[in-house]
Structure 1
Amino acid sequence: MSRIIEKLEILADAAKYDVSCSSSGSNRQNKNKGIGNTGAGICHTYTEDGRCVSLLKILLTNFCIYDCAYCVTRKSNDIKRVAFTVQEVVDLTINFYRRNYIEGLFLSSGIFKNADYTMERLILVAKKLRMDHNFNGYIHLKTIPGASNDLMYEAGLYADRLSVNIEIPIESGLKLLAPEKNRQDMIRPMDYLKQKIMEVKEEKEKFKYTPSFTPAGQSTQMIIGASGETDAQIIKVAQNLYDKFNLKRVYYSGYVPISDDMRLPGIGSAIPFLRENRLYQTDWLMRFYGFKSSELVNEQHPVLDLDIDPKLSWALRNPGFFPVDINNADLHLILRVPGIGLTSAHKIVNARKHGHLDIEQLKKIGVSLNRAKYFIICRGYKQIFCDKPEQLIKSYILNASKSKYSRSNFYQTSLF
């Protein structure tokens, strides 16, 4: 038992650098008195640095044949190497679940021998949980770039979500820091998963009992700041991934200095947590608010403002869009107003069918008027867009400073 605990401490700690463990989107129902039940989303708890711990989140092994400069498990790193057996991971998952410690499993791994060998063992864990223990809880497998399509397909039959890490946003950075890896080995499985998910969806419309295939879709993660890329480059890559591969999420993990390799930022130059937050906010604007990546960051504005959120930053750079008439503007424009969120925007469109809205009604709907009031007009209220943007910025920062920014709420915070 002490040996298992030692492995768990080492391999759980090594897994903390992978933040892409969201479990939303699956709806695997419990059948035949099995163990666990995956609903539409699983509630998470967070450590002080914001990492998700609601799932049993571990590596199968920290042995690895690659020597990626940014990775703590790289083969040249002087760390203690351990590996779980397939049965050990299965037993841990079942025992933790029965004790109500977890609601599912997030399993990744270093690569030992080759991609297919490692992928086979990840699949075997999921298969044993599903087939031998009738486990219906959430399973997220981190797939291994370079693994065969047959293995990717089998993984999708047992896992709720699959993910392939892009790792470094720009290809030149990947070649510099991980010359043994090939970007195409990461792109090919993403394309295969996209096609297979679409095929299964079409089959389900025709045949009721078509087996599920990775029902929560696929995601990826990028390490931010290891290769000096700009926010504009990062967000452009994310936009392309969403457009080409129908990803559910792109996760952004700030590089944590782990070595004195000359190719990397030095020890003590960790990426600010707030930069991660701004990237997530920008990502949210692209996915739900109708913004294009080039509107938020581009060659003229390649770095996201840390003092103000990306929606306000865009608004200050585009005064021609404002003020927005709340009672007449379409949903697309209302969504672009700082201080109006997705839910509030839809409430506004529905409520104004019954009469023109005023400031008090907007407040009841949930609009953040301390931000929105500079950009809107409505019944009984007319605001000329701020003639002195610097005053608006100071006012906004003063209000924003009252909110607590910490790693623990990076995946929830919304300033929209």
Structure 2
Amino acid sequence: MSFERIREKLNILADAAKYDVSCSSSGSKRQNKNKGLGDSSGMGICHSYTEDGRCVSLLKILLTNYCIFDCAYCVTRKSNDIKRAAFKVQEVVDLTINFYRRNYIEGLFLSSGIFKNADYTMERLVAVAKKLREEENFNGYIHLKSIPGASDELMREAGLYADRLSVNIEIPTEQGLKQLAPDKNRADFLKPMKKVKQEIIQYKQEKKIIKSTPKYAPAGQSTQMIIGASGESDLEIIATSNYFYKQYNLKRVYYSGYIPISYDNRLPQIGTPVPVLRENRLYQSDWLMRFYGFEANEIVNAHHPNLDLEIDPKLSWALRHLDQFPVDVNKASKRMLARIPGLGMKSVHKILGARRFRRLNWEHLKKIGVALNRAQYFMVCDSPDFERRDLTEHQIKQLILKNSTSKYAPMFNTQLQLFS
């Protein structure tokens, strides 16, 4: 096949893949061996940044944008009038190796539309990863998109070659999925997730006994939800994420704001994309659940079903629970320190270490890196003054917004202008 045709396919299928944001390699420790190609150890993928500031990327494409389904929110749906293309298995392998040799990429993110059926498509995705590992001795990062409805045998094989697997549940609620993708069944999404979870647990247990047991999806599995296409509240979205984290041991849930691609009467006619700020607040909430010990119902609940776009969710929680503040940083538990707005987990650990040797004051906290423009209203230390005094929730919020204009006000005002 001519170079021009390959380039045309690449343009079509790389562009179609841009709507999938669930591509991160965090957690994989696949080492280079036998003088092979690539090394995914400790690296991020797809224009992610490593801890030392390096930007790394991957070849992110679809195997094909042909699809048997007609999901209202998807650009590759069968009723959409777009250019179609499909890679052969060997073409994807050759592209990956050639791009890697030229130092363009450090891994592969491979997804696909569904043509013929789930197993037919999944077989080809697995074949790409298998060829890369066994024939090309490629040890770089590989992320495969699991196809809903694929057999257990194919899912097991996929995890032996890929670093991470992901099944996009697409719409946060089953009702929304039925409305916008009536051909799909939520059970088909859950089946491969369950299989991957079981295999990861089983292989870890076997490796404790038999050291030569191969790794199975060492970077775990993830999923992605489209936000704003079916009108769910933040409460419903976060509850869904919490469910999948707890039931399927997911590494990450990704949130993708709905982008109006073409007209479909099943979709909300909002005319503009979902505000990026809403995505950001959902990611911040996700972070609180994964690393700060927050429960989903603490972040949003029936009384507060949607996140406050003006302020981050931790600050929002603190303002709703002023009765639990101020916190004495020289005495408070790790859990309560982590709930002070302006304290990240690094600062929390520094405080826990430093206060073993002396009582901390405002100057010590500044040196540690605490964002005092927010934290000062919620804590006391070995300095006599306390900034909160008798301020109300509204007054504290306005003071923080006023003193944090570079972080909050311009973004919020811009979003209001763009999406009002």
Coarse TM-score class (shorter-chain normalised) = over 0.9
Task: Name the counterpart of 1:344.
Answer: 347
Distance 1:227 1:82, change over 3 A: same
5+ unaligned residues in a row in structure 2: which ranges?
Answer: 49-54, 412-420
Given candidates 24, 31, 46, the residue that maps to 1:22 is 24
- Equivalent residues of 2:320, 2:393 under 8 A apart: no
- Equivalent residues of 1:289, 1:342 under 8 A apart: yes
Distance 1:302 1:71, change over 3 A: same
Distance 1:406 1:123, change over 3 A: farther
SS in structure 1 opposite 2:240?
helix
SS in structure 2 opposite 1:84?
coil
Determine whether 1:259 maps to 2:265.
no
SS in structure 2 opposite 1:223?
strand
Task: Name the counterpart of 2:319.
Answer: 316
Given candidates 157, 160, 163, the residue that maps to 1:157 is 160
Task: Give 1:173's aligned amino acid.
Answer: G
Given candidates 195, 205, 210, the residue that maps to 2:208 is 205
5+ unaligned residues in a row in structure 1: which ranges?
Answer: 47-51, 408-416
Given candidates 239, 262, 270, the residue that maps to 2:242 is 239
Cα distance in structure 2, aligned partners of 1:118 and 1:405: 47
Give 1:53 deviation, angstroms.
7.8
SS in structure 1 opposite 2:370?
coil
Task: Name the counterpart of 1:402.
Answer: 406
Task: Give 2:381's aligned amino acid.
Answer: C
Superposed CA deviations along residues 235-293 of structure 1, whole A, max 9, x for unmatched, are 00000100111100000000001122122122623100000000000000000000001
Cα distance in structure 2, aligned partners of 1:227 and 1:167: 11
- Listed as ranges, the matches of 1:30-179 within 5 Å are 30-42=32-44, 44-45=46-47, 54-179=57-182
- Equivalent residues of 2:163, 2:219 under 8 A apart: yes
SS in structure 2 opposite 1:28?
coil
Cα distance in structure 1, aligned partners of 2:136 and 2:276: 40
- Equivalent residues of 1:163, 1:219 under 8 A apart: yes
Distance 1:112 1:372, change over 3 A: same
Task: Give 1:211's aligned amino acid.
Answer: P
Distance 1:253 1:381, change over 3 A: farther
Superposed CA deviations along residues 58-96 of structure 1, whole A, max 9, x for unmatched, are 000000000000000000000011001101100110010
Task: Give 1:258's aligned amino acid.
Answer: I
TM-score in terms of structure 2 length: 0.93
Give 1:400 deviation, angstroms.
3.6
- Equivalent residues of 2:45, 2:107 under 8 A apart: no
- Equivalent residues of 1:322, 1:385 under 8 A apart: no
Task: Give 1:299's aligned amino acid.
Answer: A
Distance 1:275 1:357, change over 3 A: same
Cα distance in structure 2, aligned partners of 1:210 and 1:16: 35
Give 1:386 deviation, angstroms.
5.1
Cα distance in structure 2, aligned partners of 1:191 and 1:391: 48
- Equivalent residues of 1:118, 1:144 under 8 A apart: yes
Cα distance in structure 1, aligned partners of 2:97 and 2:214: 24
SS in structure 1 opposite 2:190?
helix
Cα distance in structure 2, aligned partners of 1:204 and 1:128: 24
Task: Name the counterpart of 1:379.
Answer: 382
- Equivalent residues of 1:386, 1:392 under 8 A apart: no
Q: Percent identity?
A: 66
Distance 1:35 1:53, change over 3 A: closer
Cα distance in structure 2, aligned partners of 1:267 and 1:4: 37
Cα distance in structure 2, aligned partners of 1:169 and 1:57: 24
Cα distance in structure 2, aligned partners of 1:405 and 1:212: 47
Work out which structure has the larger RCO, using CA pairs closer than 8 Å and 6 or more positions apart in sequence: 1
Task: Give 2:393's aligned amino acid.
Answer: P
Given candidates 217, 220, 238, the residue that maps to 2:220 is 217
Distance 1:400 1:115, change over 3 A: farther
Task: Name the counterpart of 2:329.
Answer: 326
Cα distance in structure 2, aligned partners of 1:358 and 1:129: 56
- Equivalent residues of 1:374, 1:386 under 8 A apart: no
Cα distance in structure 1, aligned partners of 2:405 and 2:204: 46
Task: Name the counterpart of 1:412.
Answer: none
- Listed as ranges, the matches of 1:258-337 within 5 Å are 258-266=261-269, 268-337=271-340
Cα distance in structure 1, aligned partners of 2:223 and 2:124: 21
Give 1:381 deviation, angstroms.
3.6
SS in structure 1 opposite 2:183?
coil
Task: Give 2:341's aligned amino acid.
Answer: P
Distance 1:32 1:53, change over 3 A: closer
When structure 1 is superposed on structure 2, of 349-358 and 392-401 the one drifting more is: 392-401
- Equivalent residues of 1:319, 1:385 under 8 A apart: no
Superposed CA deviations along residues 191-247 of structure 1, whole A, max 9, x for unmatched, are 111111011111111111001100000000000000000000000000010011110
When structure 1 is superposed on structure 2, of 374-383 and 173-182 the one drifting more is: 374-383
